[in-house]
Amino acid sequence: MGESKAEKKGLSAKWTGLKAEFSRIIWPTKATIISQTVVTLVVTAIAGIIIYGIDQAALAALHSIGVGK
C-alpha cells in the first residue's frame, strides 16, 4: 500500500517543477486586477442591456402580431 522510493522521487520532482513554474508566473498587480474587473463589469452590464433591448423588441413584435397576449 505504501509508495515506493521511485514513486516518492517522481512526486517530489513534480512538486519541485510545479514550484519552479509558479515562480516564473508574472502575477498581476492590484491595479491591473481592479481595472480588468471594472472593464468586465461594464462590458457585462452593456451586454445585458443589449440583450434586454433585443428581448423587449422581440416581445413587442410578437405582441403586435397577436402572439403571447
Take residue 3 and report the three cell numbers written for it. 509508495
Task: Give the up-direction half-sphere exposure of residue 36: CA atoms within 13 A in the CB hemisphere.
Answer: 6
3-state secondary structure of 68: coil
Measured CA to CA, the distance from residue 39 to residue 33 in angstroms comes to: 10
Contact 11, 3 (CB under 8 A): yes
10-residue mean pLDDT series, the chain (69 residues): 64 88 93 98 98 97 88
Contact 56, 48 (CB under 8 A): no
- State pTM to two decimals: 0.63
Residue 11: the pLDDT is 84
Take residue 59 and report the three cell numbers written for it. 416581445
